[in-house]
C-alpha cells in the first residue's frame, strides 16, 4: 500500500511540473509581446511641412506635404515611397500610389472609375458622390467626391500625375458627418515635381 501511494504521488509531480512550465511559457510570451509592442512604435508623430515620398515613374515624383501638426503615421500600415496611413484624432487618411499604368496611360475618367471599383471591392456598402475638380499644390488637376462607407462619411481624391504614368489616391474617413478636411485642402497636400528635383 505504501508503494502504491508513492507511485501515485510520483506521477502527480510530473503533471504539476508540466502545467507549471506551460503557464510560465504563456506568461513569458505575454510579457515578451508587451515589451515588443512597447519598443516598436505603432504611430509616429509628424510635423507641419514634413514631406512623405510617394515615389514616381522616373520622370516625376509625388510627395505628400503635411500642412499642419497633429498627424501621426501608422508605422505598420505605411510603406514609404508607396503608401501611408495617417491618423489625426478620429480622422484616418490613406494615401497611396497605385501601380503604374504601363505604356498606355488611362485618362482621368477611367482612373476615377477604377478608384470607384477599388472602394466598392473594399466595402460593398460604399457610396461615391459625383466627382468635382480639384488641383494639387503644383497645379495638377484631379477629381474629388464625398464617400459614405461602413466606417462613416469621408472624401476620396484622385490626382493623376502630370504625365499620366501613375496617380495618387487619397481616402479620408472618420469625419463623423463633421467638416473634416475639404477636398481642395486634401488635394493641395500633394505635389508633383520632376524626378531630378528630388535627387
Does 199 have pLDDT greater than 60? no
Taking the alpha carbons at both ends of the chain, their separation in whole angstroms is 87
54-111 pLDDT, tens digit per residue, is 988 888 899 999 988 889 999 888 888 889 999 988 889 999 987 655 545 678 888 8
Assigned fold of 43-198: Protein Transport Mog1p; Chain A (3.40.1000)
Inter-CA distances, 47 with 36, 95, 130, Å = 26, 17, 33
Residue 195's pLDDT band, with cuts at 50, 70 and 90, is confident
Q: What is the pLDDT of residue 44?
A: 87
- Residue 167: phi and psi, rounded to 5, are -145, 165
At residue 179, φ and ψ (nearest 5 deg) are -70, -25
Q: What is the pLDDT of residues 2-57, one digit of tens each?
A: 444 555 555 556 677 877 787 777 877 766 655 554 455 588 888 899 999 998 88
Residue 1 is predicted with a pLDDT of 47
* pLDDT at residue 180, rounded to an integer: 63
pLDDT of residue 34: 54
Q: What is the CA radius of gyration of the chain?
A: 26
Any idea what the Cα angle at residue 23 is, between residues 19 and 29, rounded to 5°? 145
Residue 178's pLDDT is what?
Answer: 56
Here the cell at position 163 is 504625365
Q: What are the sequence ranges of the domains in the chain?
A: 1-40, 43-198
Is residue 192 within 8 Å of 140, Cβ to Cβ? yes
Backbone dihedral angles phi then psi of residue 46, each to the nearest 5 degrees: -120, 155
Provide mean pLDDT across the span 178-189: 81
| Biggest CA pair distance of the chain | 95
Q: For 142-175, what is each residue's pLDDT tens digit?
A: 999 999 888 778 899 999 998 888 899 999 988 6
DSSP per-residue string spanning 35-86 = HHHHHS-SEEE--TT-EEEEEESSSEEEEEE--SS--EEETTT-BTTTEEEE
Amino acid at each position: 500500500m505504501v508503494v502504491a501511494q508513492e507511485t501515485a504521488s510520483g506521477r502527480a509531480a510530473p503533471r504539476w511540473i508540466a502545467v507549471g512550465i506551460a503557464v510560465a511559457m504563456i506568461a513569458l510570451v505575454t510579457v515578451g509581446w508587451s515589451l515588443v509592442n512597447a519598443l516598436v512604435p505603432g504611430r509616429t508623430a509628424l510635423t507641419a511641412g514634413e514631406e512623405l515620398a510617394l515615389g514616381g515613374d522616373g520622370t516625376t515624383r509625388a510627395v505628400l506635404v503635411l500642412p499642419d501638426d497633429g498627424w501621426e503615421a501608422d508605422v505598420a500600415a505605411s510603406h514609404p515611397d508607396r503608401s501611408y496611413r495617417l491618423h489625426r484624432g478620429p480622422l484616418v487618411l490613406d494615401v497611396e500610389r497605385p501601380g503604374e499604368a504601363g505604356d498606355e496611360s488611362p485618362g482621368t475618367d477611367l482612373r476615377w472609375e477604377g478608384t470607384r471599383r477599388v472602394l466598392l471591392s473594399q466595402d460593398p456598402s460604399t457610396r461615391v458622390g459625383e466627382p468635382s475638380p480639384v488641383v494639387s499644390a503644383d497645379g495638377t488637376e484631379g477629381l474629388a467626391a464625398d464617400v459614405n462607407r461602413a466606417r462613416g462619411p469621408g472624401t476620396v481624391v484622385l490626382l493623376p500625375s502630370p504625365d499620366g504614368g501613375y496617380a495618387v489616391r487619397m481616402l479620408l474617413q472618420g469625419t463623423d458627418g463633421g467638416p473634416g478636411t475639404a477636398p481642395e485642402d486634401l488635394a493641395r497636400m500633394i505635389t508633383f515635381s520632376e524626378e531630378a528635383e528630388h535627387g
